[in-house]
A and B are shown apart, each in its own frame.
Chain A
């Protein structure tokens, strides 16, 4: 009998330790999938805040994770009808005022997208958080009343990411991500990504208010508010095409 207890204990420890070791990556994966699902449709308001001016944009986003998405700008009037298409690592823009589709060349990939603090590159690279990093649990912290795992993501040696490290706070059980911090190789904080305003959307509890704040320019931020999300919509690859860019509404 002791043998079986012992055996059970061993198993239990084994499961526990395995769980714990894999946990960091799994946790990150679950957090990443929370906002995505296999596909989604969302309506977002983005506000770009600078010290002396600000701008609001409305957009509709269709996404087939991880490689395809279409973003349709609904406001302001000057930008309305502009569409951004992402297919894997390539980005196209449809310009209604010029009636033309333009592919973004590599030199523009690192320029800001629509004037925000996000770059074209950011749109394209989101999906690398699992494959480009190794994940390690470094602690636990309470953020705004929520118990979070504190996980350090270290870029793999060959990964084409500029960060020295990324620290993500992920809420236990719900896998919400209230805060992500991006550091350079010297350990200096470069930018923060903060989520708040917990809401139930399409059956999931998620943060609907997001802010991206660059550390060296604290009066600048980019704010995203999810007004609507639908998860696992019916959509397939053919939707994400140059022709469709001109047709979406």
Chain B
């Protein structure tokens, strides 16, 4: 057994150039496959992250039935103890409380129905960057008694910072909520639907106005690592003992998960196409290598080497080449991928402006996961090993006399 291996190994180094070229084809295949997959995965992770940051966070806690009914009657109360337990869960990055309802807002004789969100200003902006969206006036503080309006709303109502509005709506248990309120700031959203309907109050003021002391409609939670989602979700459920509903972003925005999966679908098709090109590269090289050694094979067979032995040796040769190529490719790609993960490629031009207008960063992100890493490696290895079949078939069909003539 070991003779064949020795023979194969020596064959390889007899013609260094040929071996290196063949190994190189596998090497580049591994690097390219890893780069592409890393880019795709990085992009999905980024899209998910950017989208959950827009509003919902990765996980939300609501009062029972709130998601379906969406009224203050389904709001919840939390205590400091529960919040502490949440903070202590491994992997929880941010907990953002909100008090969400809708009301009439009126100025002069213009009245509009708007979304009102009572927020903790510091926490809210950590999640959604709300503070950065202020285009005029000031951001809210914890004790603010004023309102921050979306720009589109301000335009419709023809108001600006410093004007006063009347809020009129229904609070908890149907109590009337009505007050005159001062506009402290104006924010701008890129999505026109948000820009025409959102407004913000400080949490404590909203709770007072709507007669709902200590009550919240949702807790939005950001986590460090999306892969921990399921574990964290069940830990959160334990804290609240099933009294409240805990939903993850896939349940909160089912359209989002699927729209990212479209990209996944097309990405997989792309990856498949890449593999076809790669496979041809590897096959081509191996085939070429074999075809050019026809004379060598012819001689060996004529001097008495059994065909199957020759085939075995060539299989070992291909295996070695594959392993060398894959190993080298894997080792080299690790630092490359890690570098890009830390320093994503920036996008420029019109494309970048469009992305920034939406509040996303104009970059090409990369992601590296062990699972994905090994998946690509095994696939390329498999392709390389399959290509070992070609020399075997070739040898089978070889006619020594013709072969020797070259």
Contact = CB atoms under 8 A, between A and B. Distances in A.
Interface of A: 48, 50, 53, 55, 76, 78-79, 82, 93, 95-100, 102-105, 107-108, 111-112, 114-116
20 contacts: A55-B173, A78-B175, A78-B176, A78-B211, A82-B176, A93-B168, A95-B168, A95-B176, A95-B178, A97-B178, A98-B167, A98-B178, A100-B106, A100-B168, A102-B111, A104-B104, A105-B111, A114-B170, A115-B175, A116-B174
Contact of B166 (A76, A79, A98): A98
A115 B178 contact: no
A105 B104 CA distance: 9
Contact of B104 (A76, A108, A112, A116): A108
Contact of B170 (A53, A96, A102, A111): A111
Contacts of A107: 113
Nearest to A95: B178
A136 to B, nearest CB: 37
B174 A114 contact: yes
How would you classify the secondary structure of chain A's contact residues: helix, strand, loop or mixed?
loop
A247 B97 CA distance: 41
Given A102-B106, A102-B111, A105-B113, A112 B168 contact: no
Interface string B293-331: 000000000000000000000000000000000000000
A103 B174 contact: no
Nearest to B181: A98
Contacts, number: 62
Contacts of A103: 109, 111
How would you classify the secondary structure of chain B's contact residues: helix, strand, loop or mixed?
strand
Nearest to A105: B111
A104 to B, nearest CB: 8
B174 A99 contact: no
Top 10 nearest A-B pairs (CB, nearest first) are A115-B174, A95-B178, A100-B166, A98-B166, A98-B180, A98-B178, A97-B178, A79-B176, A102-B106, A102-B168
Contacts of B176: 78-79, 82, 95, 114-115
Nearest to B107: A100
A91 to B, nearest CB: 12
Contacts of A82: 176, 178
Interface in B57-111: 73, 104, 106, 109, 111
Contacts of A48: 174
A115 B168 contact: no
B174 A112 contact: yes
B179 interface: yes
A146 B368 CA distance: 80
Nearest to B105: A102
A98 B175 CA distance: 15
Interface of B: 73, 104, 106, 109, 111-113, 166-168, 170, 173-176, 178-180, 211
A115 B170 contact: yes
Contacts of A100: 106, 166, 168, 180
A56 to B, nearest CB: 11
Contacts of B179: 97-98
A106 to B, nearest CB: 10
Contacts of B173: 50, 53, 55, 115
A179 B180 CA distance: 42
Contact of B168 (A50, A78, A98, A116): A98
Contacts of B175: 55, 76, 78-79, 115
Contacts of B106: 100, 102
A100 B110 CA distance: 12
A31 to B, nearest CB: 29
Nearest to A93: B168
B104 A102 contact: yes
Contacts of B211: 78
A114 B211 CA distance: 14
Nearest to A116: B174
Query: Which of A93, A96, A102 has the most C-beta atoms of chain B within 10 angstroms of its own C-beta?
Result: A102
A114 to B, nearest CB: 6
A93 B168 CA distance: 9
A55 B168 contact: no
B370 to A, nearest CB: 50
A144 to B, nearest CB: 30
Contacts of A102: 104, 106, 111, 166, 168
A55 B178 contact: no
Nearest to A78: B175
Given A82-B178, A107-B113, A114-B176, A95 B166 contact: yes
B168 to A, nearest CB: 5
Contacts of A98: 166-168, 178-180
Contacts of A111: 170
Contact of A112 (B166, B167, B170): B170
A100 B167 CA distance: 10
A146 B106 CA distance: 50
